[in-house]
Copies of this chain bind each other. A is one copy, B any other.
């Protein structure tokens, strides 16, 4: 029974890794298509989202089967329930990458963002690229240390996000209404990607430690020297 459980759980974990890798690729490509307008790359992200959705369905099915047949308890149950939540989080991240790609596709061959804010959005994208890489590594190794890095570093993205709004409201802003709308939406989608990354990281901390950092973030011992 135990052997079967571990085998089946291993398969779910493999699918979860595949899902995380697909989401990482989507985030990288969506950023690329946004900052160096490329309609083919944008289209790839949009088309690829269906594969991410399919992985989520498959993971849910496997988890439900595991719950029914193996009646996991304690840590095993924590892993299965967290996997359900993780797959929903990654599915949503795929949607957000697709939304960014859709904005780039609509603006093409123009850039969706005015020249003057590109450096700021490049910083936000760099941040998300790093986060996406960390998410994949975190899941592959179930590494709570990487999870903590993701949680702590999100403040930086929030700061950049606020900066983009302040810039848009300042006299320096020279873009059109359409550019303002796109900028606000892209910033929002990027901020949400960061939030979902943090939520995934918290799940992994929960799996590893049994401690749910959503309940009292201050109680999370952040040892990041």
Contact = CB atoms under 8 A, between A and B. Distances in A.
Instruction: Specify the main secondary structure of chain A where it touches its partner.
Output: helix
Nearest to A165: B181
Nearest to A61: B212
Given A64-B77, A68-B71, A85-B88, 4 more contacts: A68-B74, A84-B85, A165-B181, A181-B184
A65 B178 CA distance: 50
A22 B64 CA distance: 29
A178 to B, nearest CB: 6
B67 A77 contact: yes
A177 B175 CA distance: 11
Interface string A59-87: 01001100110011110011001001100
9 contacts: A57-B215, A63-B81, A68-B71, A68-B73, A84-B84, A168-B177, A173-B177, A184-B185, A185-B188
Interface in A202-225: 214-215
A181 B188 CA distance: 11
A178 B169 CA distance: 7
Given A64-B77, A71-B71, A215-B57, A169 B180 contact: no
